Structure formats: structure tokens, C-alpha cells
Amino acid sequence: MIYTVTFNPAIDYVVRMDRLEPGSINRASQELIQFGGKGINVSTVLGNLGTESVALGFLAGFTGRAIEAGLSAAGVRTDFIHLPEGFTRINVKIKAGEETELNGRGPAIPPEALEALFRKLDALTGGDILVLAGSIPASLPSDIYERILERLDGRGISAVVDAEGDLLANVLKYRPFLIKPNRLELGGMFGQTLETLDEVRACAAKLQERGARNVLVSMAGDGAILLDETGRFHQAPAARGTVRNSVGAGDSMVAGFLAGWLDSGQYESALRLGTAAGGATAFSDGLASRDAVEAVLRTL
């Protein structure tokens, strides 16, 4: 079973308008509500591709109840911890030529709620996959990813980590099954601007030397590369289409990769489906549907 963890979920209120005028009344030409957070995005796209998962994390208040109900209606299994105070955040995404975001803070997560999450994770067994994705709320210890992977170490659980900077670097010693930095994040870990494919490959290899089994690097218009655990590089071209949305494309790539891997056991197939899923979300108003993924897949 695949389990995803979202520490700070959100309701994303997405509005489109011709232009944004600060200090004035602005009216939307289109609006959309999405249930967000990187782990939730992974679970949603996995479900769209027919792969079951369980979404874990923390919810609070009326917004948290709305997320849980919405995910359940979409067929996503959930096992969230409900916090006694506060409310799950609302993020406003304004698309008016440029994208402007106003992200809420989210509720505080008390120590007893974190212990409740640990107990849920203790129930994972060998062969399960755990996806840790996104930033850490200020109310949690900054080494929470390390603490989780240390707790699960040696139990045959495959970890997928989609994070950046020290949050990613510090978990490599636990040999995660998959990490997915983008090119900018990868370069930032080494204080470089990665301009050539050889530079990307070299930095990916360094992360594998530090412990990552598979390194998937998304490169926007230049596609993606995968350094698999056998030391082989795979490259996928960028999907072709008109970009409408940047939110959740990387999470969709992770979901597609996992769905492809579980279905075929082949890294090349996993990379291809991951690239298609990421592209399908980028070309959609929301997260990719199965039909959208299959349409992009036919062009690769």
C-alpha cells in the first residue's frame, strides 16, 4: 500500500482574471476549489490512475472537514488526525498573466498529535511505500522527516521524499527509494546553477552516492531524467501542450512514476508515465485525470 503524509493541507481557491489591480475590486472570470497539499495531490492523482493509497496528515476545523469529505467523494482513502484547535489553511492562487499566491499558515500541531501520527506509521509493513512531500509547518521539529525514516528504518518500507535543501539532504542516509528534486532545487543543494544535462547528471549522481536509490529530476521544458539504482540514466522529453497550471505538476509526476513502477516494475515505463502525469496536470486547470494522462502519454 502507498501512504502519503501531508503535514499542512490546504483548500486552494484558484481564481483566473484578465489582470490584477492592487487596491481595486477585482472580479474573477473563472474560479476553482481544489484540495491541496503535496501528499494529498499525490494520493489524488494515484487514485485517478487507478492506484490505491491512503492519505495521512493533520486536519482542523470546518476547512479540514471539507477536505476530508471532498477526498472521500473522489474515492481517496484517508486516515487523518483531527486537531482540536484552529482550522486547515486556505490558499488563494490568482492567475492573471502572472501567478500570485497568498498561502495561509495552518493550525499548530501539538506533540500528542504528532505521536498519533507516529503510531499510524508504526502500522506500516514491509513492501509499503511512504511518500513524504513538502515543507514542514513551524510547529513541528525541523528534523521530522529524519525522525520518521529513522523510526521506520530496516523494516522494508520504501520511502519517497519530495523536498528540498537540508530537508532532503538529511534523509539520504536512510536510502530512500526515490527522491524528486527539480533542476533548481538540485542545483541549490550544491550551490550551482545547472545549465547543462551533464551538470544535472553529475549532481544527481552525488545524491545517489549519499544514499538515494533513485533520483528523478524534473527540468520543466527540458523534460526529466532518472538515475536508477543500477546506475543507469533514463531521459524523457517534456510533454507537449499549453501550460495552464503549475500547482501539483511535480506531485503528479511522483504519482505517475509510482503507478508506472508498480504496474510494470520497469524504470523506463515509470519515468514515461510520471512525465505524462506531470504534463497532464500542467495542461489542466486542476490535477490530471486519467484521460488527460493517457492523452499526453500518446504524444511521448
Between the CA of residue 102 and those of 14, 107, 207, what are the distances in Å? 11, 16, 33
Catalytic residues: 251
- The strand pairing partners of 12, in sequence order, are 34, 91
Cα-Cα end-to-end distance for the chain: 29
Q: Tell me 140's DSSP state.
A: S
Q: Tell me 182's DSSP state.
A: B
Residues 6 or more apart whose CB falls under 8 angstroms from that of 212 comprise 172, 175, 176, 178, 179
Which three cell numbers mark 151? 523510526
Return the sign of the alpha-carbon dihedral for residues 188, 192, 196, 202. Answer: negative
Q: Which residue has the cell 527540458?
A: 222
Q: Which residue has the cell 547528471?
A: 201
